[in-house]
Structure 1
C-alpha cells in the first residue's frame, strides 16, 4: 500500500514539473517581448465604411526573427466614434482621427488612423485611350469627390493594373502591345476607376476619295478615307484623320466633312499614324440664273442678230458665258443660232435657248 502511494506521489510531481516548464505563450518560449510593431501603418488613411486588418510583429528576446503575435494582442481605440478595433480589424465609422493601441504583455505600440468622408465619385483623365501598337502614353490623372463635395487629386496614390497583356504598364506609362481592347484599372483604397484602351494595328497606306472636289459656297461634302493595316485589312478612317487646310478661310474640314466658305481653291492635307493624304477643293459660287441680252427678237428673212448670255451667281457676281453656252433653235427652218448669232431663214416663229451649267434661258424670235 505504501509502495502505491509513493508511486502516485512521483507521478504527481512529474505532472507539476511539466506544467511549470511549458510556456504560457508562443513567444515566451524564447524570452520576453521587447518591442512590437503594427505593419503597414504610420499613419493609416481610411474612408468611412472601410475595414482593414492589422498585423502585429514582435521582437522577442533570444530570437533572431520577428514573430507574428497578432492573435495575442489586446486592442483599444482612443475614439470609437471615429474608428473601432476588434481582433485586429479596424472599421472606419466617421470622419476624424483615432489612435489605435496594440498591447502585448506590458509592451505597447500605436498607430494614428485618419478617417475621411466617403468617396462619392472617382474620375480619370483621359477617360479612354487609343494607341497604335508599340506606342505609349502617360497614365491618367485621377481625382475624387467626397460626400462633402471636396475634390482631391489622388493620382500619386493610384495602383494601376491592366485586364490583359494587350497593354503593359512601364515606368509610369501605359503601352499598347497587341491590337485589341483592354481595360486599365486604377484602385484608390477600395474605390476603382476603369479606363478603356483600344490598341490598333499599324496603318501602311491611306487613300482619300474624291481627291478633287468642287463645292458651292456654304455647301459640304464628305471625304472618304480608307486605311490599310499591315495585315492587309482595310478600315474606314474618315472621322479619324486630322485635316489642315492651306486656306482655312476658303475651305475647312470637321469630322470628315469639307465645307466651302469662299470662292477659290485650297489644298487639304490629312494625316493618320504618320501617313498623309491630300485633296484639292475648288469652291465656286452657286449659279442662280442665266440672263439673255434681249427678252424677245423680231427679224426679217436673211437678217441676223447676235445675243449675249450672262451667268448670275448667289454672290451677286456675273460673268459672260456666251461662247461656252449651248445654243439651240426650236425651229431651225425659221431661224438658226451659233454661239449667240441668230440668222433668220424664213417667216415664222421659233424659240432660241442657251444652256450653261444647270441653267437655261429662252427667248421667242419672230421672222416676218
Structure 2
C-alpha cells in the first residue's frame, strides 16, 4: 500500500512539474496591465491578447491593476506562481522605477523576460508658431535663455523628464538648470500645457502629441525611438542626430512572467510572439497607437538590464541618487 501511495505521489509531482508545462496552456492566461484602462499600456495589452490567442490556443484575459507607478501590477506578477498563467504587460517603468527608487520598486530582474513587443516613441515638440525648426535651434534658444526656457514633464525622474535632461546633457548643458521643468500630471495635461503656451517645449509620448502634430498645432523636431515613425518619416531620431544618451531613451512594452518560468512555457511564448510579429492586425493596431512593433529585435533580458543601468546611471549623474 505504501509503495502504491508513493507511486501516486511521484505521478502527481510529475503532473505538476515538467509534464504540466508540456501541456501548457490548458486554460486562459491572465495578462496584467499595471496601468488603468484606456491608456497606451492598456491598448497594447489588449492588442496582444487578441492577436496572441490563435497561436496560443487559449484566451488571454486582460486585468488592469494600476497604482504606485505600475508597481502594484508588477509586484502581483513577480509574486505569482511560475506556471505561465499570469503574465505582465511590462513598460519602461519596470526598469526605470527600480533604477531611481531602489527601496520601493520591484527589482528590475524579478521576472522571466519573454520578449520585447513594441517601441512607444517619445517626440520632442514645440508649438507650430515657435521659431525653432530644428533641435539645434531649440538647444541654442535654451542656452541663450539661461534657465528661462520651460518644458512640461510628469516628474524629473519620469521618462518624459529624463528625455529632456538627457538631451541637455548631450549638449553639455546642465540637465537640471539649463531649462526649467514645470510638472503636470498625465500626457494630456503635458500636451495641453504646450498648446496653451504655458511651456516652451516637451519631449513626451507620441500618442499624446500626434493628434496635435497632425492638426498643425504642434511641430515635431525629433523622435526618441529606435527607428523613425511611419507617421513622421521626415523627423530624425535622437540616434540619427548623434545624441548618445538621449538616443537610448524611449518608451517600450514587453512581455514578462514570474521568475523561473518552465522552459516549455518560454518556448511556447517564443512561438506565439513570432506569430504575432507578422500578424497584420497587430501591426495595424501598433500603427494606430503610434507604436513601432519590435518583436524579435532585441534580447529582452539584456535590454532590460541595459535600461535599468541607463536610468540608474542617469539618476546618479544628475544627483537624484548618491554615487
Q: Shorter-chain TM-score: what band?
A: under 0.3
Give the structure-1-normalised TM-score. 0.18
Give the structure-2-normalised TM-score. 0.20
More helix by share: 2
More strand by share: 1
